[in-house]
Structure 1
Amino acid sequence: MAQETTQWKDCVEKLSVLQWVLTFLLMGVCCSVLMLYLMFTSLWLFPVLYTTWMLMDWNTPERGGRRSEWVRSWKVWKHLRNYFPVKLVKTAELSPSRNYIMGSHPHGIMCVGAFSCFCTESSGFAQAFPGMRPALAVLAGLFRLPLYRDYVMSAGMCPVSRPSLQWLLSRSGVGNVVVIVIGGATESLSSAPGVNTVVMRQRKGFVRLALEYGADLVPVYSFGENEVFRQVLFSEGSVMRALQTTFKKVMGFAPCLFIGQSWGVLPYRVPITTVVGSPITVPQVSCPTEEMVDQYHQLYMEALSQLFHTHKTSCGLSHTHQLQII
């Protein structure tokens, strides 16, 4: 009986992760194709009505979105969390009377740690940080895809665009936590087991935004994120790397060639520990100077490095592992 229970649990966890991976990869395209197909069937009225409503609702993603605590609390997310498992570690308190910008590192292939911890309640964010509302900033183009836009909004995601972030930090009250994957698509191209590289040395826009709205900066590192998939890495200067870079510039995301442990897409079962660091107090300055931006950017990089080295051994890395910031 115990063996059957374990096998059933294992099967449910794998199916939970598989649906999430397929949703990540295919749902946006499938929803768009479905709406187009229905236009040429007897159900044409549905896509017409939806498209009309979508146009009327066009700016909602950049005005705080439309999160659903019901969707964020689906049991399927607990099965996804248990598959790896994913763990959220709190190192300091966050005040509901402040707004925060969290920098999430590294990107990995699919941001498993960031999704599980900030887009669902499976890892206990609400219990760890009462009164705080997390919003994971993702590719703005996703909110132009029919049906899929509503799905990602329900999980609390928002476009990683300046109007969207400004709204959350200035017109949505306090207690907002804007989570930005700083390295973005460029960082995903370097994701591989054993790699601890983050792309942020020239990325200072999030610091400027924090200064303009007085939002404290919080570094976050997900140990194990780069271990869940094996990726074919192409060297700088190669034709394939050039094609990936060109695609990224045009489409906004990078076409990573990766493989998992089962069926090619199921990720490896590797523990992911998402550690939320201590906030860096940031003053509100309407027009921050470049020197001020550089100062707080340097403070952030130092805090991220300290966070990494403080927790690396307890999260499965050896003391010889180093964090490379490029």
Structure 2
Amino acid sequence: MMFRRLLETLSVFQWVLTFLLMGVFCSLLTGYLLLTRFWPLAALYLAWLTIDRHTPERGGRRSQWVRNWTVWRYMRDYFPISMVKMADLDPKRNYVFGSHPHGIMCFGTFCNFCTEANGFSGMFPGITPHLATLSGLFRLPIFRDYLLSGGGCSVSRSSLGHILSERGAGNAVIIVVGGAAESMAGTPGDHSVLLKDRMGFIRLALSHGADLVPVYSFGENDVFEQLVFRSGSWMKSLQVTFQKWMGFAPCLFRGRGLLSARSWGLLPYAKPVMTVVGEPITVRQSTNPSEEEVSHYHAQYMEALVRLFNKYKGQYGLSETTQLTIY
């Protein structure tokens, strides 16, 4: 039992290090190799990278072998992370999943949609998930291939449009709607999502006739403690500047230590995360949607997300008085 718990802890630790350091490390390693006798190897990879540069914009390149790694099941069991399905999805349709909340590292979203730890393919047969993330991450050597292998793709409009219009039916693009701005506000016990002014994913669904699916990960904000800066402070201004120009926001957070749950460290707390995939909202295609159409489906989506939250909050262990705040 202790050995299994150790494996679970190490599996999560490797993902935390991958999330925080792999992109920078692989970039530095590639540059270093160019200055050594192994430079032909690095040069060949960079040449191939140039040829392959459009792949993140064209649906990505997943690997079922990577998605089925045993390490992801150990990672799932550390928290544990679970997935609940509210309805079947028709493989003859395409979908836009809105995932909430962002949290620090999107453990629920990553585990359920970029791996088969909870059996996404069996739960939703005929549906291929594509987790949309920052386009800049796909410029980082080696790390970009790691992201692609799990089903990652660029979050750009052209990338998502290609998946929903050029790759047939049975595709689901997963967008963490709140993005970096939401990640700066999440704290343990917080149930609020940045959604009121986020209309882009609605327009995307309308333009391609893709059904909307709300997704909520209960407990995502509980796995780390974050220092939230007050509005107007210089640290808050720095965060907002990074978010605006770099697409991500540096967060100061803490979890438990690697060897002791009582010490501070980079490991997330072992708190359960339950990802609920909601019922699809049927969307009629409109290649040039009006503001009224966008507002109509946006309102429907928010209502569906609140219903999902209220239906499953008790199952997660929240009180009946707990409400989802949309800002």
Q: Which runs of 5+ in 2 are unaligned?
A: 259-264
1:141 and 2:136 correspond: yes
Equivalent of residue 91 in structure 2, options 85, 96, 101 = 96
Q: Which deviates the most, 242-251 or 68-77?
A: 242-251
Q: Which residue of 1 aligns with 2:223?
A: 228
Shift in Å, 1:127: 1.1
For 1:257 and 1:128, locate their aligned partners in 2 and report how far apart those are by CA, in whole Å: 36
Runs of 4+ in 1 over 6 A off after TM superposition: none
Q: Which residue of 2 aligns with 1:59?
A: 54
Shift in Å, 1:185: 0.3
Q: Which residue of 1 aligns with 2:172?
A: 177
Equivalent of residue 122 in structure 1, options 117, 130, 136 = 117
Q: Deviations over 1:242-285 (max 9, x none)?
A: 11111111211010100011141110000000000000000011
1:155 and 2:150 correspond: yes
1:265 and 2:266 correspond: yes
Shift in Å, 1:237: 1.3
Q: Deviations over 1:108-160 (max 9, x none)?
A: 00000000000000011111101110011011111001111111000001111
For 2:94 and 2:156, locate their aligned partners in 1 and report how far apart those are by CA, in whole Å: 17
Q: Which residue of 2 aligns with 1:3?
A: none
- Mapping of residues 1-326 of structure 1, within 5 Å: 6-263=1-258, 264-326=265-327
Q: Deviations over 1:224-252 (max 9, x none)?
A: 00000000111111111111111111211
Amino acid aligned to 1:294: S
TM (norm. structure 2) is 0.97
Q: Which runs of 5+ in 1 are unaligned?
A: 1-5
TM (norm. structure 1) is 0.98
For 2:65 and 2:4, locate their aligned partners in 1 and report how far apart those are by CA, in whole Å: 23
For 1:318 and 1:245, locate their aligned partners in 2 and report how far apart those are by CA, in whole Å: 33
Amino acid aligned to 1:198: V
For 2:167 and 2:143, locate their aligned partners in 1 and report how far apart those are by CA, in whole Å: 24
Amino acid aligned to 1:276: V
Q: Deviations over 1:164-190 (max 9, x none)?
A: 100100001110010000000000001
Identity value in percent: 58
For 1:249 and 1:288, locate their aligned partners in 2 and report how far apart those are by CA, in whole Å: 27
Count of aligned pairs between the two proteins: 321
For 2:47 and 2:124, locate their aligned partners in 1 and report how far apart those are by CA, in whole Å: 38
